[in-house]
Structure 1
Amino acid sequence: MLRYLPLLLVAAGAAGTATAAAVLSAGWWWAAGPLLALTGLGCRDLAQRRDAVLRGRPLTGRLRRGRGRAVVRERSGDVDVYAEGHEFLVPSLRPVEPPEEAPVVRVGGPDCRQPYDMALLNVSAMSFGALSPRAVLALNEGARLGRFAQDTGEGGLSEHHLRGGGDLIWEIGTGYFGCRTGDGGFDAREFADKAALPEVKCVCLKLSQGAAPGGGGVLPGVKVSAGVARERGVPVGGTVVSPPCHRVFSTPRELVLFLARLRELAGGKPVGFKLCVGSRRDVLAVCRAMLAEGVAPDFVVVDGAEGGTGAAPVESAGRLGMPLTEGLITVHNALVGSGLRDRVRIGASGRVATGPDIVRRLVQGADYTNAARAMMLALGCAEARRCHTGACPAGITTQDPLRARALHVGEGSLRVQRYQRATVRSAVRVMASMGVPDPAGLTPAHLVRRTGPATLRSYAELYAWLEPGELLAGPPASWARDWDAADPDAFGRPAPRGDAEVFGRGR
């Protein structure tokens, strides 16, 4: 209620001074007039639907909004195209007309009986608990309006995910929330029942996420409301720490077989896994397990170490795991070299906000992208950095019903839908300007990086790109040691080496 106190005080002052003006002296109107105007402005803030901060903080929210605009202006300077590391996409002197319909990606390998057409941009994993019920519902309704998918995050398949009617990617984490036994294990029957819901289009097994690889997610106790506790099967008000690893498998082979089991339990819907890549040898071990068992996931979602998450210690961001660029290239090359790329789609999760961002990730090996932070900004996120406290002024990352009221579901869903549509259209226009009618025509030569004051190199020159089945026919020297050491029955340690030997062409 403290958030409404300034408006209440102004309204009380307006009422008092207006009474004094009517009863005592007309001179009081000099004070009553401005206070009445402020009261009217505050009531307007409270009733409007477009700005979540003003709905949650009438009058005082205008101070935060002004500061946010100043920050935006401060960040909107010109890009230094001569800075080392600057990257740009290569336009064509023979561009093409962009297609009227945005392309989609068919997700589903030969073992999948219910393939799904994935949009180029979707809602990345954000759990109910981390997000408010209204935020989850607004994202889901936006996904329905825009015909793209929402990843549920590892917090379970809540009623708020289902009410909006949007397509869902149900994420299963190490806590197995939503399909959890009493002792914290995996409940196959509950999983099968929920995976059969028509809203669930894909299932994603989370191994790790950007900024928190090797550690389970954390939901502070202040955000564990009765609804969150019910969905997760945990005590109200207690901090929820997910286990660091899964209980149902411990080797690459067991992982692959568990994914196949999930697909069967889900009625043949697409099943995949999500990870922040740390070791190329481990990725190759999973590929060897796929080849040995003759089964493969339908998709892999790659997260980057630079990805932000409210469930991770700040000191781990960017210091554990590969950045998204290297992670994407590693997974793409491993699947291509193993002869598996044609049956496994790759999603890129993290640092996607604009059309060129999507195209850049497609060049690096992805088939589609997911965004979290940009979707929150579309909802009205004020970047107050209070996500972990439950005191979000925009009503997005809180379980307080009064604070959550700041977010209007209908307006928020429209903003999410419009943002996704505009961003995908931008990506399609960028590809058309490059002379590419659809993502299949993109190559590593389409992305260039400045490597020095007078040198430019394309991704085709910067990175080694394997040919289909090359690891099976005879791996190149830079991959041979990891390929030979990759064990389908054990996750191992990476071999010591330099970055140029791992990713580059040795130039």
Structure 2
Amino acid sequence: MKILSSIVIIVLACVLVFVIGIIGYFIILYRKTNRIDKSQQQHAIRRNYPVLSRIRYFMEQIAPEIKQYILDEDHEGKPFSRLDFQQIVKLAKYGKNIISFGSKRDFDQPNQFYLRNAFFAKQLTDLDADNKEMIYTKKYIDAPTMNHNKLMEYQELFFPKNEKLIETEMNPWLYKDDDTIVIGEQTCRFPFVLKSPIGMSGMSYGALGENAIEALGLGLKDAKAFMNTGEGGISPYHLKSGVDIIAQIGPAKFGFRNADGSFSWEELQKKAQIPQIKAFEIKLGQGAKIRGGHLEGSKVTPQIAEIRGVEPWKTINSPNRFDEFHDFDTMFDFIEKIREVTGKPVGIKMVVGGQETFEEFVQYMAYHKRYPDYIAIDGGEGGTGATYQSMADSVGLPIKPALMIAQELLIGYQIRDQLKVFASGKLFSPDRIAIALAMGADVVVLARGLMISAGCISAGVCATGNCPVGVATTNPKLQKALVVGEKRYRVTNYVTTLREELFALSASAGLTSPKQFKPKHVVYVDSNFHAVNVVDLPKYELKDKRVLNS
């Protein structure tokens, strides 16, 4: 008994010593933190309320996640709401997006666009889609067991759903040969033929990691779509998949430059020999930034530096514009020389700032009969890895008014048939794509939608290189999160299902193909809740009618 009592006393004494030690540690930590807070000069609140004020900074750190996952309503998150995000993920994971009970769109809000349905819709068998060759893919299905019960439902609150990845085939939902989009048909030795009205917008290797680039490339290849390299140059990971590529050339000319930074025609000729490179794109601007690109030094690995022709681990700020041209004459000289050297189509990526500035451009093309093979119009709501907030918020028009201005002026000056129009700017869903096509786009290109399909969770840390899911980072440890062999199929499913639903919307509008969408198929509900057909909205008056008369 005495032995037992002694053991109990010893145990209690040890516990007491441990507790006293813990208390002592926290007292010492408190006094040290208190002294640091009072003596530091950076934060005023810490000087007056030492230690306690640190809770404020902790709350600031976790606020975005609390807001994103708990506080935000379904439509409130920016730039993508919870419903937007879920729609993309469902298309990518399951190859479908079926909802129940009804839409959560706020129909009581004015100033919205709607697709006009036909009195007699088309049957699916009436659609002019090329579905001859099936696409192999993998998608998730719910796999409930016979023992599924309430306990399992509670477990799913904290653990992933019981889903199974299965092999399957999907209809590709491509344009038929008669509806193909041919870029550079009259101007190039090697025109670019598209059967998919959906592709990838410019996203550079460096802004994204190699796993993301490879997964996107493989997924787009399987979906029979194309990708754009972004201004960071052509990497081995772009080429590895075998996907059709548009090679973008930015003002810094990464991958197309000499040692002194000037444009290298020799490098251009080398790149033009690559069969996968189908076209070249001159980047004049981007919706989220009318300035040169930015890449933090922490993301500039030796491989990225070699591809771009810069020093590793040093922050890159591209010039705001090309040194090779300074007006329309010299710009078209540059475009036409690239086209002559490569034999492939050359487009320009730009932002519409207003009717007047775009009309100057259209006037020049109409009068001089010089055209790019396509214009890629990026809306102000488009994304970026890094830019100034004021520029992303305020410079450049959103994609809808930009398309309406472009279409009106190109038709008005009678040159619409001389070039194709690409559109981008948060066009991540079938209805948004349909409206863009109706407003004048021939092709729609996506960026953030594809990033989300490949695993992006909208953490908003792209510029830092600390992407927690391995998409917008070149850090090998973080990139381990992105499994190329799984995410490639999500990309395939997303693009293919977008096209499938796009054809379904065509049928509801009484059309046999998305290519038939016109402005008359879009209705705008104004601030007075009057339904106005887009073709009946006020028109821009052409300024220089002498061009037409000539």
Q: Shorter-chain TM-score category? A: 0.7 to 0.9
Answer yes or no: is the 8 Å Cα contact 1:82–1:450 preserved in 2.
no
Verify: 1:225 aligned to 2:301, yes or no.
yes
For residues 74-223 of structure 1, the aligned pairs below 5 Å read 75-76=82-83, 78-97=104-123, 98-101=127-130, 102-103=174-175, 104-118=180-194, 119-213=196-290, 215-223=291-299
Answer yes or no: is the 8 Å Cα contact 1:83–1:450 preserved in 2.
no
Matches of 1:180 and 1:144 in 2, distance apart? Answer: 28
**Residue 463 of structure 1, CA deviation:** 4.0
Verify: 1:274 aligned to 2:329, yes or no.
no
Answer yes or no: is the 8 Å Cα contact 2:366–2:414 preserved in 1.
no
Q: TM-score, normalised by structure 2?
A: 0.71
Matches of 1:388 and 1:454 in 2, distance apart? Answer: 41
Answer yes or no: is the 8 Å Cα contact 1:124–1:150 preserved in 2.
yes
Answer yes or no: is the 8 Å Cα contact 2:412–2:542 preserved in 1.
no
Question: Given residue 360 of structure 1, which amino acid in structure 2 is its aligned partner?
Answer: I
Question: Given residue 159 of structure 1, which amino acid in structure 2 is its aligned partner?
Answer: P
Matches of 1:260 and 1:99 in 2, distance apart? Answer: 35
Summarize deviations over 1:46-98 as a string: whole Å, max 9, x none. Answer: xxxxxxxxxxxxxxxxxx89975986857447111121112210111111133
**Residue 338 of structure 1, CA deviation:** 2.3
Point out where structure 1 has 5 or more consecutive residues left out of the alignment. 1-63, 466-477, 486-507
Verify: 1:434 aligned to 2:509, yes or no.
yes
Q: Which residue of 2 aligns with 1:363?
A: 438
Verify: 1:349 aligned to 2:349, yes or no.
no
Matches of 1:70 and 1:319 in 2, distance apart? Answer: 27
Question: Given residue 287 of structure 2, which amino acid in structure 1 is its aligned partner?
Answer: G
Structure 1 residues 127 and 209 mapped into 2: Cα distance closer, same or farther (>3 Å)?
A: same
Matches of 1:454 and 1:73 in 2, distance apart? Answer: 24
**Residue 288 of structure 1, CA deviation:** 3.6
Matches of 1:307 and 1:343 in 2, distance apart? Answer: 26
Q: Which residue of 2 aligns with 1:406?
A: 481
Matches of 2:209 and 2:419 in 1, distance apart? Answer: 33
Verify: 1:421 aligned to 2:496, yes or no.
yes
**Residue 149 of structure 1, CA deviation:** 0.6
Verify: 1:479 aligned to 2:542, yes or no.
yes
Q: Which residue of 2 aligns with 1:60?
A: none
Verify: 1:377 aligned to 2:403, yes or no.
no
Question: Given residue 190 of structure 1, which amino acid in structure 2 is its aligned partner?
Answer: E
Which has the higher mean CA deviation after the structures are superposed, 181-190 or 170-179?
181-190
**Residue 293 of structure 1, CA deviation:** 4.2
SS of structure 2 residue aligned to 1:284: helix
Structure 1 residues 291 and 456 mapped into 2: Cα distance closer, same or farther (>3 Å)?
A: closer
SS of structure 1 residue aligned to 2:335: helix
SS of structure 1 residue aligned to 2:466: coil
SS of structure 1 residue aligned to 2:218: helix
Verify: 1:243 aligned to 2:306, yes or no.
no
Matches of 2:228 and 2:512 in 1, distance apart? Answer: 28
SS of structure 2 residue aligned to 1:479: coil
Structure 1 residues 447 and 184 mapped into 2: Cα distance closer, same or farther (>3 Å)?
A: same
Question: Given residue 126 of structure 1, which amino acid in structure 2 is its aligned partner?
Answer: M
Matches of 2:273 and 2:529 in 1, distance apart? Answer: 57
Structure 1 residues 66 and 454 mapped into 2: Cα distance closer, same or farther (>3 Å)?
A: closer
Answer yes or no: is the 8 Å Cα contact 1:256–1:289 preserved in 2.
no
Verify: 1:254 aligned to 2:254, yes or no.
no
**Residue 453 of structure 1, CA deviation:** 4.1
Matches of 2:363 and 2:265 in 1, distance apart? Answer: 26
Answer yes or no: is the 8 Å Cα contact 1:380–1:412 preserved in 2.
yes
Matches of 1:340 and 1:457 in 2, distance apart? Answer: 27
For residues 389-400 of structure 1, the aligned pairs below 5 Å read 389-400=464-475
Which has the higher mean CA deviation after the structures are superposed, 220-229 or 434-443?
434-443
Structure 1 residues 347 and 296 mapped into 2: Cα distance closer, same or farther (>3 Å)?
A: same
**Residue 375 of structure 1, CA deviation:** 0.1
Structure 1 residues 72 and 224 mapped into 2: Cα distance closer, same or farther (>3 Å)?
A: farther
SS of structure 2 residue aligned to 1:460: helix
SS of structure 2 residue aligned to 1:365: coil
**Residue 407 of structure 1, CA deviation:** 0.5
Q: Which residue of 1 aligns with 2:32?
A: none
Matches of 1:358 and 1:426 in 2, distance apart? Answer: 10
Displaced runs of 4 or more, over 6 A: 64-67
Matches of 2:393 and 2:440 in 1, distance apart? Answer: 21
Matches of 1:292 and 1:66 in 2, distance apart? Answer: 53
Matches of 2:366 and 2:116 in 1, distance apart? Answer: 37
Matches of 1:115 and 1:106 in 2, distance apart? Answer: 7
Answer yes or no: is the 8 Å Cα contact 2:110–2:529 preserved in 1.
no
Q: Which residue of 1 aligns with 2:310?
A: 234
Q: TM-score, normalised by structure 1?
A: 0.76
Matches of 1:70 and 1:159 in 2, distance apart? Answer: 42
Answer yes or no: is the 8 Å Cα contact 2:437–2:515 preserved in 1.
no
Matches of 2:383 and 2:346 in 1, distance apart? Answer: 25
Summarize deviations over 1:232-262 as a string: whole Å, max 9, x none. Answer: 1111111100100111111112112211111
Answer yes or no: is the 8 Å Cα contact 2:287–2:378 preserved in 1.
yes
Point out where structure 2 has 5 or more consecutive residues left out of the alignment. 1-64, 76-81, 84-102, 131-173
Structure 1 residues 398 and 440 mapped into 2: Cα distance closer, same or farther (>3 Å)?
A: closer
SS of structure 1 residue aligned to 2:370: coil
Matches of 2:355 and 2:329 in 1, distance apart? Answer: 16
**Residue 336 of structure 1, CA deviation:** 1.7
Structure 1 residues 349 and 110 mapped into 2: Cα distance closer, same or farther (>3 Å)?
A: same
Answer yes or no: is the 8 Å Cα contact 1:253–1:290 preserved in 2.
no
Which has the higher mean CA deviation after the structures are superposed, 451-460 or 128-137?
451-460
What is the aligned-residue RMSD (CA, Å)? 2.2
**Residue 427 of structure 1, CA deviation:** 0.7
Question: Given residue 113 of structure 2, which amino acid in structure 1 is its aligned partner?
Answer: E
**Residue 292 of structure 1, CA deviation:** 4.6
Q: Percent identity?
A: 31
SS of structure 1 residue aligned to 2:189: coil
Summarize deviations over 1:3-27 as a string: whole Å, max 9, x none. Answer: xxxxxxxxxxxxxxxxxxxxxxxxx
**Residue 222 of structure 1, CA deviation:** 1.3
Matches of 2:304 and 2:70 in 1, distance apart? Answer: 34
Q: Which residue of 2 aligns with 1:32?
A: none
**Residue 441 of structure 1, CA deviation:** 2.8
Answer yes or no: is the 8 Å Cα contact 1:109–1:344 preserved in 2.
no
Answer yes or no: is the 8 Å Cα contact 1:252–1:285 preserved in 2.
no
Which has the higher mean CA deviation after the structures are superposed, 253-262 or 143-152?
253-262
Pair member with larger Rg: 2
Matches of 1:293 and 1:114 in 2, distance apart? Answer: 24
Verify: 1:295 aligned to 2:370, yes or no.
yes
Matches of 1:73 and 1:305 in 2, distance apart? Answer: 23
Matches of 1:195 and 1:336 in 2, distance apart? Answer: 32
Q: Which residue of 1 aligns with 2:360?
A: 285
Verify: 1:327 aligned to 2:398, yes or no.
no
Q: Which residue of 2 aligns with 1:42?
A: none
SS of structure 2 residue aligned to 1:302: strand
SS of structure 1 residue aligned to 2:535: helix
Matches of 2:501 and 2:70 in 1, distance apart? Answer: 24
